Structures are given as structure tokens and as C-alpha cells.
Structure 1
Amino acid sequence: MRVKSPRDPRLDVFRGLCLVMIFINHVPKNLYEDYTSRNFGFSDAAEGFVLMSGIAAGLAYSADFRAPMRLWVGFGRVWKRVWTLYMVHILTTMAALASASAVAVFLHNSEVLFLNQMDEVFSDPLRAFIGLTLLTHQFGYVNILPLYLVLLAVAPLMLMAAWRKPLWLMAGSVLLWAAAGQWHLSLPNYPTPGGWFFNPLTWQVIFITGLLTGVAMKDGRRFVPVKRWLQVLTGGFVLFAAVAAQVPEVSKAMGGTLWLLQDRLGLPWFLTAFEKSYVTAPRLLHILALAYFLSTFPAVRRACGSVFAKPFELLGRQALPVFALGSVLCIAFQGVKHALGDSLALDSALLATGLAAQFALAAARQYWPKPRTS
């Protein structure tokens, strides 16, 4: 009988850390956001969250797609989760709108109602509600779930390819990323012009990298083996990105070099720009280098298994409800800051309250006694 291997704590711990940083970054203009990961590299917590969502999907669903006789079971499990994500997103969207409305009613400040793409609900409500239902219109800070939902919906096809032709899947993913970047391809943003902020045609390369990593972990191996030269290369790149993010002179020199590469040598813009929607090369390379570098050291796994990491592991295990609650709270807290002004005391109180609520929800979901069935 095959013994079930213990759960790797790194996935939940880093997912929990990403949730904390996403929440802090989504309550703008607070002192604490200066210390989140986006200030020490080219990517931020969103890229990390999507990468780990791909790993989690590979671990959770890949076994059903290895053998042909279980394919329909796998499709059913994945699409059931997709439906859950859709319902959570719609509920989160309505709750975010309600939280912004509560600020307008009780604090007499309606500014937040006209931020984060909410104004379309009031200027063109009929089309806006069609867009919200179809996922083509998304409120800012509540728009990661549609990306994950779309990618997970097609994950069964990716998982079948991941077992049989993983390198072909990775190559196709990179080609799609490059094509979408070169020709600015995206999904429609009805009823407003433009495409999705989290563009599935480009962000899929992060998700698929995670998916292939999760499939390999399920099979008891690494997708990219540990090599000393890769550790040095990725560690050096992560260090350079941190220096460039913190030292203006280095950042300016790098920006000038990238501009020259595009203007004089004709490199495609998606290889030289820093554009989040299209996950341009500096951002993509940074999150992949960071993930590889951290995953190659046993000390990181031991640290993630320590008692100090348990709170973040708890958040990561309950990522969906925690993210939904955090998204609603950050919209409300933006409104509170508009009404009451910026101050360290207010920021500290809001963030402490929001994080405490998210930890409480995660603990309730994890430890609340389950009802007995007769």
C-alpha cells in the first residue's frame, strides 16, 4: 500500500504570505506597503499567488488525468471548483459594492464608489451588470479570481498535456505569452474598452509553470532539477532586482539599457517593458527566478514547517475565503481612508483589524467542529 506523503508546508506558507501582502498593498498609501515584496523586485505578490495556485491545481487534480479511465472524474472535480470560484467572485463583487456604499452612507464620502471601475455601475448600470455577470467587467482589487477561474476551466486540457508532453505544453504557453504581448491580445472588457487587467493569455504562463511544477511534485520529482549554476543565476538575478528596486541610480541605468535594446536593437516591447497586465519579461523572469531559488534550499522548507510559520500556513490553507474577505475589506478601508484621511494610527488600526478578521475566518474554517451526519 502506498503511504501518503506529508503535506509540503511551503505552498500554504508562501500562499499565506502572498495574501497578507496583497491585502496590505490593496489599502493604498500606507506605510507598511513599503515593506512588501513588490518593493524588492520586479514582480509582486500577485504573480506569486497565481504561481502557487497553479502548483496547488497540479497537486490536487493531476492524478485524475494520468489514466484515461478517470478523465471524466477529473473534469467533474475541476469544473465543480470553477463553479465555486464563480459564485465566490460574484458574491465578493456584490459585497465590495456594498462595502463602498456603506462608506458613502455612514461616513458621507462617496469617492470610493467612483474608483476601481465601480463608476460604470452608476453611469451605465444595465451594461455593467451584464459585464459583471459575464466576468468581462471587474472591479479593481477583486479581479484575480476571474483570471484563476478561466485558467482552471481549461486546466483539464493542460493536465492531460502535462503528463504526456510537458515540454510541449511549456513551449506552447511561452509562445502564447509572446504572441499576446506582441499584438496586445486579451479578453474583452465589456462594456468598457480595453482588455482584462489580469490578462489570462499572458498570466497563463505563470499558472502553467506552477501546474507543471505541481504535477512533477505529485509524481515525486522536480519539474526543474536543482543545479548549482541555476541557483547562482537565479539568486544573482533576484539580488540584482532587489538592488534595482531600491537604488534609483541602478533602476535608471537599467531602464535606459532596456530602452536602448528596444529602440536600437528592435527587441519586442514585452521583453523590455514593466507591464503587469502582460507579465512582461522582467516581471516574469523575476517571479520564476525567485520561486526556483527559494525552492532549492532545504532550510526554506524547515522554516516553513516551524511554529512561527503556522499563522501563514493557516491563511494559505483557507486561501479562497481569506482572499474574498480581504478583497471586500480593502475596498471598504479605501473608503474609510478617503473619509478620515491618512495617518499611521488609522492605517495600523485598519490593517490590524482586517488581518485579524482574515485569521479568524481561516481559523474558523479550519478548526470549527464539522457537523455530524446521521
Structure 2
Amino acid sequence: MSSPALAPPSTRDPRLDVFRGLCLVMIFINHVPGNAYEDWTSRNFGFSDAAEGFVMMSGIAAGLAYSADFREASMRLWTGLGRVWHRVWTLYLVHILTTLAALAAAASVALWLGNAESLFENQMKWLWLDPLRTVIGLVLLSHQFGYVNILPLYLALLAVAPLMLFAAWRWPRRLLAASVLLWLVAGIWRLGPPNWPSSGVWFFNPLAWQVVFVTGLVTGVMLKDGRRLVPVRRWLQVVTGLFLLYAALSAQIPAVSKMTGYTLWLAKETFHLPWNLTAFDKTYVAAPRLLHILALAYFLSSFPIIRRACAHWIAAPFELLGRQALPVFALGSVLCIGLQGIKHVTGENLLADSLLIWGGLALQFALAAARQYWPKPAKIR
């Protein structure tokens, strides 16, 4: 979704990296529960949170980066397949390494701070309850540690992205309709890849979350072609703005939240709606969450001032994080597991929280800067 003044397809849009960087910061803060800063992240001002934003922008990035190879039915299709699946393999390796490092972070807290709680949280307890099956599950992605489980969603969706990209150039509306139908069916019957050896489905269920990714992917394909997915209309800006305002009030004011819950319950009972149209479930991206991220994406993308703000030097640190999203996310995921363990020791302490959160963010900025600006070593031939 772009501003009315469309840039040439080859121009890098600063909004994608800036908002992806902001999402990474908020995800990191939210993944250290109980800290003094989590009340100021986006999840406290609407129905969706930074995870939906991150997946949406991952879809946009995929549409921009890989769509050209799938525009024509030619030999470039094989090149495109190779590029996409090479990235999938990279994501898998990063996920396995991040999972191992997160376990090491929890073990370090237990060893040197004398607190082993983290080793039994975030689905890590299954390593001790059923070690053989859990190790196999970690490799097969059927078992995922909490707070380290968004990359399996991304790589699963990216693995089938070639089909989506091929369809997005030819039948974008049909692709979006099929995506919405799959989201609805997966929610109604609670379908999704199973967890093993534990029960249930993936927390980030790809059968439901694909609707966020596909919307972003089609948006990216349209951007590549110099078009918008949804035209800028004043009435749409007003409607989405009012919805975002109401969602923020509902998240902040108990009376409004109670009214929202009652209204959704009444709609469900009156019209016998499926549960995922009136709930706030994250695993199945229930309708209020989905509508919120779609409204937010449209609203922010429809004002030229947002693009100018993202191009300002003040936004440069977030753009840097967004450009190096994968290593920054991996480091943040490992840090948050260790910081959760440290929080068990420090408790509620503003000074400790500040040191932990700002120190962790400083490490992520340092990594992003190193990746961006350090000279790359020459290849050995």
C-alpha cells in the first residue's frame, strides 16, 4: 500500500523499513513481560499488535523482492523459485540457531543467577518431560518455543509464495478471496499444523495468518507495478481513522471495552456468526484483529506526510533496524528469553527494566549497524 504519489518501482520506500524497525522494537519490548515499557507499545492502543504489522510488511517485502521473476511464464520462474527457496532455507537455519541460543540463554540464567523458571516456560518444559520427541519436534518445526516462533510462520508462508506470486500477477482478486476463505474455514474448524509432542496447533497458525501475509504480498506486487491495491478515498480514510480511534479507546477505557465485548457477543448470538468473527484470538487472527491491521495499513499508507516523515533523519535508526530485520529479530528473540529470566530475579524495578530494555535495544542497533556499514570481506576464489 503506497501513498498517492507513487514512486518508481525501483525506488526503495522508506516506510517499509521504518515501520518494520518499529515493529521489531515493540516485539522485543512485548517479549519481556512485566517491564515498565510494555504499556506503551501498539498492542495497548488497538486490537492487533506488532506481530500482525511485521507479517504484513514481510508480505509486502516478499512481493517487492521476488515478484518480478513470476510476472512472465519463462525461465525466470526457475530463478525465482531458487531465490525464494534459498531464503526459506536461510530462515530455517536461523530459526534452529535462534532456538538453540534461546535455550542457552535460559540455561545461563539458571546457572549463574540461580533461577531456573525460564527453563520451564515458553514450551521449554517439554524438553524435560519428553526430550526425545521434543528434539525431533524442534527440527520438524512441530514444536516451537514461545517468543521464538514467528520465523516458522514466515518460512512456511514463503515456501508457498511462488504460487501466490504467480497468482498475484494474474488473478489478484481471486487470490485474496481464496485467502479470506481459507482464513475463515481455518478459524471455524480450528485447523492448523499440529504441535508435537504437545497438543493444539501452531501459535502463529499459517492457515490463518496467511491472510495478513497474502494481503501484504499482493500489495507488494501492485507496488512493483506502480499501482495501489486500494485507491485513496477520503471516505475510506475517515472510516479507517474512526475505527482505529474506537479500537484505541476500547483498549484503554474499560467501559468502552465492555461495550465492545457486549456488542460482539450480541452480534454472535443474534446472527449466529462463527466464533472467529467476534473473538480476539491471536492464533486464528480473529476478525477484530484482522480488520484493525488492515485499517491501520490503509490509513498510514494513504497520507503523503507519513512517507515524508519516514524519510526524515529522525526515523533513520528504525529504518536501519528494518533493513536488517532477520538478524535483528534473531538477536532480539534470544535476548528476550534471557531477559525474562533476569526479570524473575529483579522483579518490578524501573531502573533494572531500563537497563535491560535499552541495553537489549542498543545491542540490536549495534548489530544492524555492523551488518549495514562494516565492509564485507572479499570472497575467496
Query: TM-score w.r.t. structure 1 length?
Result: 0.98
Q: Which residue of 1 aligns with 2:214?
A: 208
Number of residue pairs aligned between Structure 1 and Structure 2: 372
2:117 paired residue among 66, 87, 111: 111
| Structure-2 separation of matches of 1:206 and 1:303 | 25
| Structure-2 separation of matches of 1:242 and 1:197 | 25
Q: Which residue of 2 aligns with 1:218?
A: 224
Measured on the aligned residues, the alpha-carbon RMSD in Å equals: 0.9
1:86 paired residue among 89, 92, 101: 92
Structure 1 residue 341: deviation in Å? 2.0
CA-to-aligned-CA distance 1:130-153 (integer Å, 9 cap, x gap): 100000100000000000000000
CA-to-aligned-CA distance 1:47-70 (integer Å, 9 cap, x gap): 000000000000000000001111
Structure 1 residue 268: deviation in Å? 1.0
1:317 aligns with 2:316: no
Q: Which residue of 1 aligns with 2:40?
A: 35
| Structure-1 separation of matches of 2:110 and 2:34 | 20
Query: TM-score w.r.t. structure 2 length?
Result: 0.96
1:186 aligns with 2:192: yes
Name the aligned partner's letter for residue 93 of structure 1: T
Name the aligned partner's letter for residue 73 of structure 2: P
Q: Which residue of 2 aligns with 1:145?
A: 151
1:229 paired residue among 235, 259, 263: 235
1:48 aligns with 2:48: no
| Structure-2 separation of matches of 1:135 and 1:4 | 36
| Structure-1 separation of matches of 2:331 and 2:269 | 44
CA-to-aligned-CA distance 1:112-141 (integer Å, 9 cap, x gap): 100000000111110000100000100000
CA-to-aligned-CA distance 1:80-122 (integer Å, 9 cap, x gap): 0000000000000000000000000000110010000000011
Structure 1 residue 15: deviation in Å? 0.1
Q: Check whether the contact 2:134–2:143 (CA below 8 A) recurs between aligned residues.
A: yes
| Structure-1 separation of matches of 2:336 and 2:9 | 39
Q: Check whether the contact 2:276–2:287 (CA below 8 A) recurs between aligned residues.
A: yes
CA-to-aligned-CA distance 1:12-46 (integer Å, 9 cap, x gap): 00000000000000000112110100000000000
1:161 aligns with 2:167: yes
1:264 aligns with 2:265: no
Structure 1 residue 260: deviation in Å? 1.2
Structure 1 residue 186: deviation in Å? 0.8
Correspondence list, 1:323-362, <5 A: 323-362=329-368
Q: Which residue of 1 aligns with 2:312?
A: 306
| Structure-2 separation of matches of 1:4 and 1:221 | 9
CA-to-aligned-CA distance 1:329-365 (integer Å, 9 cap, x gap): 0000000011232211110000011000000000000
Q: Which residue of 2 aligns with 1:125?
A: 131
| Structure-2 separation of matches of 1:339 and 1:286 | 36
Q: Which residue of 2 aligns with 1:7?
A: 12
Q: Which residue of 2 aligns with 1:61?
A: 66
Structure 1, gaps ≥5 residues long: none
Name the aligned partner's letter for residue 39 of structure 1: N
| Structure-2 separation of matches of 1:4 and 1:241 | 34
| Structure-1 separation of matches of 2:271 and 2:372 | 54
User: Equivalent residue of 2:256, what SS?
Assistant: helix
User: Equivalent residue of 2:37, what SS?
Assistant: helix
Q: Check whether the contact 2:9–2:226 (CA below 8 A) recurs between aligned residues.
A: no
